[in-house]
Each structure stands twice: as C-alpha cells, then as structure tokens.
C-alpha cells in the first residue's frame, strides 16, 4: 500500500485565523492540507475559492494543497486553482460527463488529479481507464457539503474494492474520520486520511495526526 498521508480539513478551522490555523497543522505533522471548495450548487454551502487558497499558499510556504472540488462545473476552476497554488485537484465524478479530458487538463496545469465519489456512487463508476489516468481516488464517507457529520460505514467496502483493483493508487477517505473510525478505513486500504473536526477540535492535534498515521501504518 502507498504511504500514509494525513490531510487535515481546513473547513474545521477558524477562518478568521486561517494562515495561523494552517501553520498549526503543519507544526502538528500534517504534510497536506485538505481544502474544501464548495460552490453552493453541487452542494448547498459556499466555502472558499482560489483567492483564499492563494493566501494559504503564500502564507504557508511549501504546503501541499489537496483541493476537494465540490463544484458543479469542475472544468471551470482548473486554471484558477492551479494559479492559486493547488497541488492536487480532486473533482467529483458525479459532476462531469467527461472525466478523462478533465484529468488531462489538470495534469497540463501541473497538478495531480483526484476523482471523488459520493456515498451513492458505486466504486465501479471509476473505470480502470479513469483510475489509471488519475493520481488519487477519493471515497466520501459522508454526503459532501459540510464538516462534522457522522461517518457512514457502509461506504467503506468501496475502499476495499478499489484497493483490490488498484494496489498502488492513493486512496483517500473523507468525512467523519477520526480516532474512532480510522481503523476500518485503514483496514480497507485507505492511505490518505482527511479529518477535520477530529484534528482541529482536539486539544493536541499532533497526537491525533500521529495516531491516524500509525493506524494506516499498522
Ligand atoms: C465534507 C468535506 C469534508 C469535511 C470533513 O463535505 O468534504 O472534507 O470537511 O470534516 P470532518 O472530518 O469533520 O467530517
Ligand atoms: Zn473534503
């Protein structure tokens, strides 16, 4: 299995202190930051876009921004997110009819490409061709739209199905993941772990980050 990566979801941070919050995560051992971009259309909420990502990129030098694009028209934002310093552009398979040219466009802008599936989308929607073209697959373990939701364990078998088909691919889980739910995700084969409230609200984020990592590396 590829190496363990913990990607704290900035959605759970105090946006008034965004850069300081991001630095707090880096200090706690985070290598990636998960940036939840919502457009108020694919999901009901609006969060942040390229201008804010650009501030984080400048304020937290060298940070790998894992951009989770919960947007209806993912083709529209590739250039802006790349210019803002996005390192990985993960779009929802439900939001496009043509994932392969989109993956090419993301790569052409020098970013890694991720493909996300929501709870009601089966793992088979990710065809072999799509998975091989992408750098990361994201299995949502909540309905996209907001942080702090309850982990949906019924999504976990999709992680196992994808791990079986793609032994070397980065597979991310996102939603309701924390110390209590990490083990089933790791056992199923997920190696990229997103956690928002579980890390940001913890008295000691460093401890949570290292605990999540240890669980993947068991
Ligand atoms: C949900 C977002 C998640 C969320 C995770 O739509 O994609 O990244 O912020 O937050 P927690 O870990 O609190 O469920
Ligand atoms: Zn997310």
Give DSSP secondary structure letters for 100-112.
HHHHHHHHHTT-E
Does the annotation count 36 as an active-site position? yes
Which ligand places an atom closest to the C-alpha of 67? 2
3-class secondary structure, 41: coil
Q: How far is the CA of 165 from the centre of ligand 2 (A)?
A: 23
The answer regarding whether domain 5-216 maps to CATH 3.40.50.1980 reads: no
For residue 92 and ligand 1, the question of a CB distance below 6 A is answered with: no
What are the φ/ψ torsions at residue 72 (nearest 5 degrees)?
-75, -25
Q: Which of 66, 135, 170, 174 is catalytic?
A: 174
Are 131 and 158 spatial neighbours (Cβ–Cβ below 8 Å)?
no
| Predicted confidence (pLDDT) per residue in 15-54, tens digit | 999 999 999 999 999 999 999 999 999 999 999 999 999 9
Ligand nearest, relative to CA of residue 181: 1
User: If you measure from the C-alpha of residue 68 to the centroid of ligand 2, how many angstroms do you get, rounded to a whole number?
Assistant: 5
Cα gap 160→185, rounded to integer Å? 9
ipTM higher than threshold 0.95: yes
Q: Give me the residue spans of the domains in the chain.
A: 5-216
What residues are neighbours of ligand 2 (ion), with CB under 5 Å? 36, 68, 174
Nearest to 108 by CA among 82, 132, 130: 82
Q: Is the CB of 195 under 6 A from ligand 1?
A: yes
Report how far residue 83's alpha carbon sits from residue 208's, in angstroms, rounded to the nearest whole number.
32
Instruction: Give 95 Cα–ligand 1 centroid separation in angstroms.
Output: 18
Q: Could you tell me the two tokens for 92?
A: 């929802």
Whole-number Å distance between alpha carbons of 73 and 29: 33
Place of tokens 């051992």: 29
Q: Which of 59, 17, 32, 14 is nearest to 193 (CA)?
A: 32
Burial bucket for residue 15 (CB in 10 Å: 0-12, 13-18, 19+): exposed
pLDDT in tens, 101-128: 999 999 999 999 999 999 999 999 999 9
Check if 36 has its Cβ closer than 6 Å to any atom of ligand 1: yes
pLDDT at residue number 1:
85
| pLDDT (tens digit per residue) in 56-102 | 999 999 999 999 999 999 999 999 999 999 999 999 999 999 999 99
Choose one of 6, 8, 9 to mutate for the ligand 1 pocket test, by most ligand atoms within 8 angstroms of C-beta.
Answer: 9
Q: How many helices (H) and strands (E) does the chain have?
A: 9, 8
Is 66 catalytic? The answer is: no
**pLDDT given for residue 18 in this prediction:** 98
Confidence (pLDDT) at 151: 98
Ligand that lies nearest to the alpha carbon of residue 9, given by its number in the listed order: 1
Give distance in angstroms: CA of 11 to centre of ligand 2: 8
């Amino acid at each position: 299995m590829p190496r363990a990566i913990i990607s704290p979801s900035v959605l759970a941070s105090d946006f008034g202190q965004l850069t300081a919050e991001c630095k707090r995560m880096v200090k706690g051992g985070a290598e990636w930051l998960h940036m939840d971009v919502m457009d108020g259309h694919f999901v009901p909420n609006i969060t942040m876009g390229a201008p804010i990502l650009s501030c984080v990129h400048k304020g937290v030098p060298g940070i790998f921004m894992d951009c989770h694009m919960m947007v209806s028209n993912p083709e529209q934002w590739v250039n802006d997110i790349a210019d803002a310093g996005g390192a990985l552009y993960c779009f929802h398979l439900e939001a496009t009819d043509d994932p392969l040219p989109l993956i090419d466009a993301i790569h052409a802008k020098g970013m890694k490409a991720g493909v996300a599936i929501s709870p009601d989308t089966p793992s088979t929607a990710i065809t072999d061709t799509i998975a091989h073209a992408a750098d990361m697959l994201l299995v949502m373990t909540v309905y996209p739209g907001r942080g702090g939701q309850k982990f949906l364990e019924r999504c976990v078998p999709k992680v196992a199905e994808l791990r079986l088909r793609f032994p070397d691919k980065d597979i991310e889980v996102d939603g309701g993941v924390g110390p209590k739910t990490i083990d089933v995700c790791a056992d199923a084969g997920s190696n990229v772990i997103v956690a928002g409230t579980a890390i940001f609200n913890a008295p000691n984020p460093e401890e949570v980050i290292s605990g999540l990592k240890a669980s993947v590396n068991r």
